[in-house]
Amino acid sequence: MGRPAIFFDRDGTLSYEIGYVNHLSRFRLLPYAVDAVRLVNASGRLAVLVTNQAGVARGYFSAEVLAAVNSALVLMLKDEGAYLDGVYVCPHHPTEGAPPYRTVCDCRKPRPGLLYRAAADHGLDLAQATLIGDKPSDLVAARAVGARSVLVLTGYGRGEWEHRRSTFTVPPDHVADDLCAAVDWVLSRRSP
Ligand SMILES: [Mg+2]
Ligand SMILES: [Zn+2]
């Protein structure tokens, strides 16, 4: 019997999608992101970040800058009484940059490696998990592990949903205006 969790994408879901976050000054949380994480914390589900950051592989920013941004995110949440139970990052790209970050990895969404890693670390039941994100790759990663997915209309979400959903290989289980609405939907469901 594993634990239930909600996975969050970072850029476009918790924070503004502004392109590559190559400096801490470019990182901003979306409105109500903190409230959404706090709701998850109060629900007893784990709150886990899963993010692709191929800017490292591409050489746009270092692993240190990436770590600093994620640390700042954790602190911004903590200041408001919200916490992440885990932060999982894919810094890879299959064809860009140089090794070791240029590699065909198992963790770049839509691949499910980050979700499996989190599940192993925290004893999660992925069948009871939901991934909230703004891209089709988030939906595919969720489906790959038997989790549900919610597409948020922040970040790339609105454009993907309004103009490109005919290309989706995996439809979202739900579409929500923002992260808070997404979490509300997940928590209002009786069964996982
Ligand atoms: Mg995103
Ligand atoms: Zn990876």
Mean pLDDT of 57-82: 97
Distance from the CA of 139 to the center of ligand 2, in angstroms? 17
pLDDT at 5: 98
Residue 42 has pLDDT above 70, yes or no: yes
pLDDT tens track for 106-137: 999 999 999 999 999 999 999 999 999 999 99
What percent of the chain lies above the pLDDT cut of 90? 97
Ligand in closest contact with the CA of 54: 2
Mean pLDDT of 143-156: 98
CA distance 24 to 107: 24
Ligand in closest contact with the CA of 108: 2
DSSP classification of residue 11: B
Alpha helices in 108-178 (DSSP H): 113-122, 136-144, 157-163
Would you state the structure tokens that stand for residue 88, as one six-digit string?
Answer: 């999982």
pLDDT at 192: 54
- Count Cβ atoms within 10 A of the Cβ of residue 23 and give its class: 0-12 exposed, 13-18 middle, 19 or more buried: exposed
pLDDT at 1: 76
Among 8, 14, 142, 161, residue whose Cα is nearest residue 76: 14
Residue 27 has pLDDT above 80, yes or no: yes
Ligand in closest contact with the CA of 56: 2
The residues annotated with a catalytic role in the active site are: 9, 11
Alpha helices in the chain (DSSP H): 33-43, 55-58, 63-79, 113-122, 136-144, 157-163, 179-188
Distance from the CA of 42 to the center of ligand 2, in angstroms? 31
pLDDT at 191: 60
Distance from the CA of 191 to the center of ligand 2, in angstroms? 31
Distance from the CA of 190 to the center of ligand 2, in angstroms? 34
CA distance 1 to 11: 31
pLDDT at 57: 97
Mean pLDDT of 44-64: 97
- Helices 136-144 & 113-122 angle (0-180, nearest 10): 50
